[in-house]
Structure 1
Amino acid sequence: MCHRSQPRPPRHSRKAITKSGLQHLAPPPPAHGAPCSEPERQIRSTVDWSESATYGEHIWFETNVSGDFCYVGEQYCVAKMLQKSVPRRKCAACKIVVHTPCIEQLEKINFRCKPSFRESGSRNVREPTFVRHHWVHRRRQDGKCRHCGKGFQQKFTFHSKEIVAISCSWCKQAYHSKVSCFMLQRIEEPCSLGVHAAVVIPPTWILRARRPQNTLKASKKKKRASFKRKSSKKGPEEGRWKPFIIRPTPSPLMKPLLVFVNPKSGGNQGAKIIQSFLWYLNPRQVFDLSQGGPKEALEMYRKVHNLRILACGGDGTVGWILSTLDQLRLKPPPPVAILPLGTGNDLARTLNWGGGYTDEPVSKILSHVEEGNVVQLDRWDLRVEPNPEAGPEERDEGATDRLPLDVFNNYFSLGFDAHVTLEFHESREANPEKFNSRFRNKMFYAGTAFSDFLMGSSKDLAKHIRVVCDGTDLTPKIQDLKPQCVVFLNIPRYCAGTMPWGHPGEHHDFEPQRHDDGYLEVIGFTMTSLAALQVGGHGERLTQCREVVLTTSKAIPVQVDGEPCKLTASRIRIALRNQATMVQKAKRRSATTLHSDQQPVPEQLRVQVSRVSMHDYEALHYDKEQLKEASVPLGTVVVPGDSDLELCRAHIERLQQEPEGAGAQSPTCQKLSPKWCFLDATTASRFYRIDRAQEHLNYVTEIAQDEIYILDPELLGASARPDLPTPTSPLPTSPCSPTPRSLPGDAVPPKGEELVEAAKRNDFCKLQELHRAGGNLMHRDGQSRTLLHHAVSTGSKEVVRYLLDHAPQEILDAVEENGETCLHQAAALGQRTICHYIVEAGASLMKTDQQGDTPRQRAEKAQDTELAAYLENRQHYQMIQREDQETAV
C-alpha cells in the first residue's frame, strides 16, 4: 500500500482517549501535500476542486449551537482567552463546532476533517487501498456504544466538558471514551463506511493529480502561446489539465451516488439539506448547482460503474440534469432519482418521490435511492419553424420565434394556463421582491387567472390552431369543444399533482396512461374543466399519439415544463426524442419479511392510533418519548397484517364515523382535519412525516409496532388544551362527551342563553353537552347574532368547527342586525384559520354588509393583505362555479 496516499496516524497513549481531547486521532496530511503553515487559510463552505485544495479541509457553516464547548479545548480557545461571545461555525462533514477565530487553532491540535481524496504517489495509482476511520471526540452522542451496548451518559451534560464518546465521521460507529470500549487498535483499522457504504464514493477513488513537469518549467509566455494554439484546434474541454481524477474500483454491490442540490428550490430548502448529505457521504460527491451546474461533475465521474444520481430540486432541476446527460452521451446513462424541493414536483409525484420534502431523514432518502427500481421516462423533442402562411398583420412585437426549451419531460401546453404562467414570470422579473412567499405567489396566480377569465383572452384559441396527431386532423373536434387550453401530456401528473387525463379506470376508450410507452396524451380544457381539475376532475380526452404537428396562426402563449413564452405564429413538431433512465421509489420490503425475526405476518393487526399536534411535533419531534407522552389517543383500528398506509387511512377515518357511545371518539372532542398525515415512529432516530402521495409505499408494520402516530395540524397542542385524564382502556371515551343519559319525558331542553354563554366562554365541552341535551344550534340573541357569530368573536376554533359540522347550512350566511355574516366578522378580525373553515364549509363570499363590503373588503380594511388575497381567490372560484351552473341551466 502506498504510504503517502494513506498517512499513518500517530500512536496514542491510554490518556489520549480519556482526557479533554487536545490530542486528536486524525491523521496528518501527506508530506508532499499542501503546506500546513499557510498565512491565512480561507474559511470555506464549499468543496475546493482546485489544485490548491487542502487535504482534510473542513466545510464550515454558521451555527447557533451555543451549548457545546469549542472543539479546540480551553487551552487553545481564543474566545475563552478574550472572555467574550464570538460567532461559532460547524463543519458539515465531521460535525465539530468551533469559534470562528479558533479555526486556525485546529492546526495546533492536529485535527483535520475526514479526507475526501488521496494524493498521487510515485507508486502505481491503481494499487487497491482502503479507508481508515476518522475518529472524533464527542461531548454528546446518541445511540449506544458499539462495544458494550450501553447508552452514553448525557443527562445534565449539555454544558459538560467531559468527552463521553469517540465516533467515526465515515461509518458513524461510536464507542465510550474509555480503553475498555475503544481499543487502541481501532485507530488504524479499515472503515466499512457504514450502512450507506454502497452509495458512498470512497476517498481512495478520488486522486489529486500532479501538474505535468513540462507545464511547471514552461515560461508564462510560452504557456500562453501554447494554450492559444491548442485552443484553436481542440474543443473547450479538450487538452485542459484537471486537478482531480476519478479512478473507480468497480463492484457489483456498489451503486455510487452523485447528489446535485439546487439551493434555491422550495424556499431555500436545498441550502439546509446539503449539509446533511455532506455528513453522510463523501463531500466530493455532493454538488451545489449554483456553483456552476452539473456538467463538470458528470464528466468527471463518467467512468464510474453503476453510478446513480439524486436531483434535489424541482422538475426544472431534473430537466437540467437530463439535458446535460444528453449532451455528454454517457453510456449507459446513470439513473436519476428525485428529492422534490420545488412547488409542482409532478415528475417526482409520478415516480413516487412525493409532492415535496418535509422532514424525512436523509439516511432514509439514501436507502430509498439505493433500493429504488430503474424505469424509463419518455422525453419529447420540440422543433419550431415560422408559419409561412401567417401574414405580417398576425405578428406580435412582444412574441418570440423560439421556445424556452427544445425538449420536455412533463408537458407542453398553450392557451389559458400558459398565459397565466407568463404573466407571473414577467411580474416576478420586474418586481422580484414581491414574490418572496409561496402564499403570495399562489394568490397572484389566482388573481391573474381570474383576470384572464374575465378578459376572455384564450376563448378563441380553437380558431387559431390546427392540430394533427399521427396524421389525423383533430381541428374539427377541437373547434367543437372550444377549449381555452390544450395540453400535450407525457406523465399522469400536472399542475401540482392533479390528474388531467383522469384516474386509472376512468378512460375505457384509451390505453392506460404510462410515462414510458412512447405516447402523448392530448387533452383540452374549458374553464369548467379547469376549475374542476383541483377537486378531482379531468379535461376532455382527445387522443393518444406518437407525433404531433401543431400550427398556430397568431402569437399564442405556450409553456414547456413550466417555462412560458409568447410564441409567434409557428409550426411545431413534437416527436419522441429518447428515453431517460430514472429511479422510481419502491416499497422497501415485501409483506412477508416485515419482521426482523422472520416470523409470519399475522392475519390481522390491532393497533392503537394516537395523534400529535403540530405545536407538539415541532417542539418535541427529536425526542420520541416526550412526543409519545404528548400524543392524544384516538382509538383502535384492526387492519390486515399486510396493510399499507393507504388502506390504514380508510380505517382511521372511519373511527370518527362510529355511532355515539362506541368509544371511538377523540379525547379532545376534535374531529380529524383533512390534512392529517402518518408519522414514522420506528425506522429513524426521531419522528418524521410521511407524504400522503407515498402512503402506498409503506406498510403499517414498517412505521409502527403496537401504536400508530398521526400528525394533525389543527389539533390543539398540549400547552393549549386542558389537562385530560389518562385513558385506562385501549378504546378511550371522550371526557367531554359522556355517554348520553336518557332524559325524562318532561325534561326541558336547554335555554338558548346557556348555549350563547358557552360559546362566549369558549366552553366547547359545555356547548356539546347542551347540544346533545336538545339545545338549538340555530339560536339567535337579541341582536340576531348566531352562536357562530359569538364563536368567531372569541376566536374559538374548536367551537367553530363543531358548529360547522352540526348546525344547519343556513348558519353560514346568517346575518346579524348590521348585515354582517360570521365570515365578515372573521375577516375583520384577521382570523385566517377560521376564515378557511367557514369558506370551505360553503359560505358565500359575495354577500355584503350594510356598508356594501364583502368579506374580502373587510380583510383589506383590516390591512391583512394575504387574507384578502385568499378571499379574493375563493370569490373568483365561486363566481366561475355560479356562471358555469347558470350556463348549464
Structure 2
Amino acid sequence: MLHHIEEPCSLGAHAAVIVPPTWIIKVKKPQNSLKTSTRRKKRTSFKRKASKRGNEDNKGRPFVIKPISSPLMKPLLVFVNPKSGGNQGTKVLQMFMWYLNPRQVFDLSQEGPRDALELYRKVPNLRILACGGDGTVGWILSILDELQLSPPPPVAVLPLGTGNDLARTLNWGGGYTDEPVSKILCHVEDGTIVQLDRWNLQVERNPDLPQDELEDGARKLPLSVFNNYFSLGFDAHVTLEFHESREANPEKFNSRFRNKMFYAGAAFTDFLQRSSRDLSKHVKVVCDGTDLTPKIQELKFQCIVFLNIPRYCAGTMPWGNPGDHRDFEPQRHDDGYIEVIGFTMASLAALQVGGHGERLHQCREVTLLTYKSIPMQVDGEPCRLAPSLIRISLRNQANMVQKSKRRTSMPLLNDPHSIPDRLRIRVNRINLQEYEGLHYDKEKLREACKIPLKRFFFGFDFPAIPLGIIVVRGDCDLETCRMYIDRLQEDLQSVTSTTQRVHYQDQESSFPRVLSVQRLSPRWCFLDATSADRFYRIDRSQEHLHFVTEISQDEIFILDPELVMSQQVGTPPGMPDLVVEQAVIAGDLLKFIECCKKGANLLIQGPDHCSLLHHAAKTGHSEIVKYILEHGPSELLDMTDSETGETALHKAACQRHRAVCQLLVDAGASLRKTDSKGKTPRDRAQQAGDPDLASYLESRQNYQMVSHEDLETAV
C-alpha cells in the first residue's frame, strides 16, 4: 500500500462536518525524567508554583485546535449523554466516534461541555449536536450563554431522553430508533437555523408573608432559565416523585417505555390523593399587568403551565391545534411571548387523546406569587418550592438547527420534471422478528420478500406480506401516505367482513389473502429502504419531512411489530410451532427461546384454543410469561380458551401463581373479563383459597375501573 501514502484524504461524504486532523496540534508534555526533576529542585519556590499552575492550565487538553477557515465547512461538535432515556448513548457515542474525528465527539458523563466549547470557540461555522434529552440541550445552551460566543453556534438535537419535547418541536422526532448516523449528519448539515426564546426565572421570598410563616421547601428552583416550559401543580408533583425514585434506584429506570409507565402510575396515585386540588387558592398570577387569579380560582385549576414551545408532556399540544386559537395568536417558539395555560384533572387526562388546556394569556412578563410550598418543574427538573415571588422575563434567543424537509439525490429526483403525477406503489409489511434479523442485510431481506409462498409450508417464514396497492401523488409525503394506507386497511377489513374467507383449491394463493386482512397495529411505521447499508425505521413525528419517493419508488415497506404468521396454514410436524408448546408446558425456558428465534409463532393455539400464554400462566413459569409479554402481540392478554372462556389471568389466579398474576396485570390484562361461568380472576383467586391474591386483584380492578371512567369523562 506504499503507493497510497502520498494520496490526499478527501474525508469522505461528510467532509464538511468532520474536523480535519491538520487542525489538531498536539501539546508537548513536560519532561518527567530524573535529570529534569533534579534540576527542578534547585529552582526557587516561586518558579515551582508557576510551573505547577501552568500544568493545571493544560490539564485535560492534550491538543489545541487551529482551524483553517472555509465557507464550505460546517464543523460539528457532538455531545453524548449516555444516561439519557434508555441508556442508548453508549451505542450512539461509538457510532459517532467511527464516522467522525474522535476529537470532536465528547462523552458528557466524563466531563461537561465547557472545556470542549472553549477549545473550539474560534472555529468558524461551528455546529453542535446534543445527543440526549431536553435537559442535555438546556445544559449546553447555558454553557454557551456563559462563554458568550459570538455568534453562538446553532444546536441540533438527537433525542435520547424520555419526553423529547424540544426535539419534537424542531422536527427531530420523539426518540432515536435506528436511523443511520450518515443520514443524521446530513440532516444536521442541511438543517435550517431558527431562533428559540429562552426565559429567566427570578425567585425571591414572598414579601406578603412574615418570616415565621414560611413553610419548609427549596429556596430556589433547580434551573434559573427555561427553554420548554415552567409549571406548578399536579404535573410537577408527578415529575418530582419520578425524580426521587430514579435517584434512589437508578438501575430501575433504564428504559424509555418503563419510565413512561412509572409516570402513568405516579399520576394515577396523585389523582387519588388529590394533592393538587387546592392549588388555585394558594397562587396569584399577573401577566403583563393583567391579574389572572380570579379566573384561576373560578375554574379551580390543578396545574398551571407557562409554555414556550408547542410540545409538552412527551408530545402533547396543550395550546391546541394551530388553527383553533380564536382570540389568540398562533403559538411560536421565537416570538418573544410565552403562553399561559390552566388545567383541571380532566383536561390533563384529555391531553393524551388530543385535548388541550384553558388558554389564559400570551405575555412577555409574568409575576407569580405562591402562599404555600408547591411542587414546580423547570424543563423537567422538579422541586418543592417554599412560598415565593417568581418573575418570568425574556432572557435571549438561542440558535437552533431545525430538521428540514429535503429531497435526496435519487435518480428519480435528479430532474424535477421526471416526478410523475401519480405513483402506483405496492405496500409490504414486515414483522418485527424478521426485521431485527435481516434489516442489516438489505439484499437478503429483499430476496426474502420474493421467496415463493410454498417455501412457508416447508419451514421458512415469509417476512414481507403484501398489504395491497395504493395510488398517490408524486409529491406525496409520508404523513399523507399513512392516510392512504389506513384507508386501504379499512377497505380490506370491510370486504372481509361481508364476504368472509374465500376457500381456494390452491393453498398457495389463499395464504396471502388471509394474512393481508390482518389488521395493522396502531404502532406500525415506515421503513426507509434507500440507505446504503440497511433498512431503518422512520419516527412517526417526522413523516411530514419525508416524501414517498425518498424511501422507495415502486414499493413501500412498513414495519408492523404485532404482525404474526397464521398457524392455520398447516405447518409440518417437527417445526418450531409444534415443539414450542411442549417447551412451555415443561418450563424449559432455553428451549422455548430457541424455538422462538427459529420462527415459532407466539399466537399458536391447540384444539381447545389455549395459547402459549395460557399454558405458561397455568403452570406458573413466570420467566416464560415475561418473555411472551415482551415479544408477543397485546391481543394475547385477553385471549380466551374455548372450553371455559378463561384468560391467562384466570388460569394463573386458579393456581394461585402470584408472580404471574402481577406480570399479567402490569402488562394490562383485563381484571373485569369474565369466563363462561361469569367469574372474574378475583373470583377465581377467592375460590382457590388465596384471599391475599384476591384482595390484590380487587384493588387493581378498582384501579382499572376508575382509570377507565376518568378517561371517558375527559373525552
Distance 1:442 1:835, change over 3 A: closer
SS in 2 for 1:266: coil
1:545-602 Cα offsets, whole Å, 9 max, x none, are 1110101011111110111111011000000111110100011228999523555210
Q: Distance in 2 between matches of 1:843 and 1:384?
A: 52
Could you say which residue in structure 2 is the equivalent of 1:309?
128
For residue 790 of structure 1, report the CA deviation from its aligned partner: 8.6
For residue 430 of structure 1, report the CA deviation from its aligned partner: 3.0
Could you say which residue in structure 2 is the equivalent of 1:681?
529
Q: Of 132, 153, 159, which residue of structure 2 is paired with 1:334?
A: 153
Q: Distance in 2 between matches of 1:316 and 1:547?
A: 24
1:290-341 Cα offsets, whole Å, 9 max, x none, are 1111111100100101000011111111111111111111000010001111
Could you say which residue in structure 2 is the equivalent of 1:131?
none
SS in 1 for 2:73: coil
Q: Assess if the C-alpha contact under 8 Å between 1:404 and 1:560 holds in 2.
A: yes
Could you say which residue in structure 2 is the equivalent of 1:639?
472
Q: Of 225, 229, 241, which residue of structure 1 is paired with 2:46?
A: 225
Distance 1:850 1:376, change over 3 A: closer
Per residue, is there more helix in 1 or in 2?
A: 2
Q: Distance in 2 between matches of 1:763 and 1:299?
A: 67
Q: Of 188, 204, 211, which residue of structure 2 is paired with 1:369?
A: 188
Work out whether 1:455 is the aligned partner of 2:455.
no
Distance 1:877 1:210, change over 3 A: same
SS in 2 for 1:268: coil
Distance 1:320 1:800, change over 3 A: closer
Q: Distance in 1 between matches of 2:277 and 2:84?
A: 34
For residue 853 of structure 1, report the CA deviation from its aligned partner: 6.4
Q: Distance in 2 between matches of 1:532 and 1:709?
A: 33
Q: Distance in 2 between matches of 1:381 and 1:544?
A: 16
Q: Assess if the C-alpha contact under 8 Å between 1:587 and 1:698 holds in 2.
A: yes
Q: Distance in 2 between matches of 1:223 and 1:401?
A: 49
Distance 1:872 1:351, change over 3 A: farther
Q: Distance in 2 between matches of 1:429 and 1:368?
A: 35
Q: Distance in 1 between matches of 2:549 and 2:237?
A: 47
For residue 458 of structure 1, report the CA deviation from its aligned partner: 0.7
Q: Of 378, 397, 411, which residue of structure 1 is paired with 2:197?
A: 378
Q: Which one-letter code corresponds to 2:91 in the other structure? A: K
SS in 2 for 1:551: strand
Q: Which one-letter code corresponds to 1:188 in the other structure? A: E
Counting matched residue pairs gives 629
Q: Distance in 2 between matches of 1:592 and 1:432?
A: 45
Distance 1:834 1:653, change over 3 A: farther
Q: Assess if the C-alpha contact under 8 Å between 2:405 and 2:545 holds in 1.
A: yes
Q: Distance in 2 between matches of 1:670 and 1:328?
A: 57
Q: Which one-letter code corresponds to 1:532 in the other structure? A: A
Distance 1:283 1:242, change over 3 A: closer
Distance 1:843 1:545, change over 3 A: farther
1:492-518 Cα offsets, whole Å, 9 max, x none, are 111111111112112122111111111
Deviation larger for 319-328 or 660-669: 660-669
For residue 219 of structure 1, report the CA deviation from its aligned partner: 2.5
Q: Of 280, 296, 309, which residue of structure 2 is paired with 1:478?
A: 296
For residue 655 of structure 1, report the CA deviation from its aligned partner: 1.1
Q: Which one-letter code corresponds to 2:464 in the other structure? A: S
Could you say which residue in structure 2 is the equivalent of 1:783?
none
Q: Assess if the C-alpha contact under 8 Å between 1:394 and 1:554 holds in 2.
A: no
Could you say which residue in structure 2 is the equivalent of 1:651?
484
Q: Distance in 1 between matches of 2:27 and 2:699?
A: 58
1:658-677 Cα offsets, whole Å, 9 max, x none, are 14179996635411000000
Could you say which residue in structure 2 is the equivalent of 1:701?
549
Distance 1:825 1:220, change over 3 A: farther
For residue 434 of structure 1, report the CA deviation from its aligned partner: 4.3
Q: Distance in 2 between matches of 1:592 and 1:622?
A: 21
Q: Assess if the C-alpha contact under 8 Å between 2:85 and 2:162 holds in 1.
A: yes
Q: Which one-letter code corresponds to 1:660 in the other structure? A: V
For residue 212 of structure 1, report the CA deviation from its aligned partner: 8.5
What are the within-5 Å matches in structure 2 for residues 333-732 of structure 1? 333-392=152-211, 394-397=213-216, 399-589=217-407, 595-596=413-414, 599-628=417-446, 629=448, 630-658=463-491, 659-660=494-495, 667-716=515-564, 722=569
1:841-879 Cα offsets, whole Å, 9 max, x none, are x979x995563869xx9999599x9x9999887555225
TM-score, L = length of structure 1:
0.63
Q: Distance in 2 between matches of 1:814 and 1:353?
A: 42
Distance 1:313 1:834, change over 3 A: same
Q: Of 91, 105, 120, which residue of structure 2 is paired with 1:286?
A: 105
Could you say which residue in structure 2 is the equivalent of 1:267?
86
Q: Of 97, 119, 122, which residue of structure 2 is paired with 1:300?
A: 119
Q: Distance in 2 between matches of 1:723 and 1:588?
A: 47
Work out whether 1:851 is the aligned partner of 2:670.
no
SS in 2 for 1:493: coil
1:436-465 Cα offsets, whole Å, 9 max, x none, are 454544343333222222222111101110
For residue 535 of structure 1, report the CA deviation from its aligned partner: 1.4
Q: Assess if the C-alpha contact under 8 Å between 1:354 and 1:691 holds in 2.
A: yes
For residue 639 of structure 1, report the CA deviation from its aligned partner: 0.4
TM-score, L = length of structure 2:
0.78
Deviation larger for 654-663 or 505-514: 654-663
Q: Which one-letter code corresponds to 2:399 in the other structure? A: T
Could you say which residue in structure 2 is the equivalent of 1:82?
none
Structure 2 portions without partners, runs of 5+:
449-462, 503-511, 572-602, 617-627
For residue 624 of structure 1, report the CA deviation from its aligned partner: 1.5
Deviation larger for 561-570 or 621-630: 621-630
Q: Which one-letter code corresponds to 2:262 in the other structure? A: F
Q: Assess if the C-alpha contact under 8 Å between 1:800 and 1:834 holds in 2.
A: no
Q: Assess if the C-alpha contact under 8 Å between 2:682 and 2:694 holds in 1.
A: no
Q: Which one-letter code corresponds to 1:878 in the other structure? A: H
Tell which structure's C-alpha radius of gyration is larger. Answer: 1
Distance 1:447 1:242, change over 3 A: closer
Distance 1:504 1:838, change over 3 A: farther
1:123-163 Cα offsets, whole Å, 9 max, x none, are xxxxxxxxxxxxxxxxxxxxxxxxxxxxxxxxxxxxxxxxx
Q: Assess if the C-alpha contact under 8 Å between 2:614 and 2:647 holds in 1.
A: no
Work out whether 1:204 is the aligned partner of 2:204.
no
Q: Distance in 2 between matches of 1:607 and 1:859?
A: 58
1:257-308 Cα offsets, whole Å, 9 max, x none, are 0111111122221111211111111110111111111111100100101000
Identity %: 62
1:241-270 Cα offsets, whole Å, 9 max, x none, are 954221111111110001111111222211
Structure 1 portions without partners, runs of 5+:
1-24, 26-183, 725-759, 765-786, 805-811
1:591-650 Cα offsets, whole Å, 9 max, x none, are 999523555210000010000000001111111133232311110000000001001000
Distance 1:853 1:486, change over 3 A: farther
Q: Which one-letter code corresponds to 2:495 in the other structure? A: E
SS in 1 for 2:296: helix
Q: Assess if the C-alpha contact under 8 Å between 1:447 and 1:872 holds in 2.
A: no
SS in 2 for 1:290: coil
Deviation larger for 387-396 or 432-441: 432-441
Q: Distance in 1 between matches of 2:682 and 2:634?
A: 27
For residue 421 of structure 1, report the CA deviation from its aligned partner: 1.3
Q: Distance in 2 between matches of 1:241 and 1:672?
A: 53
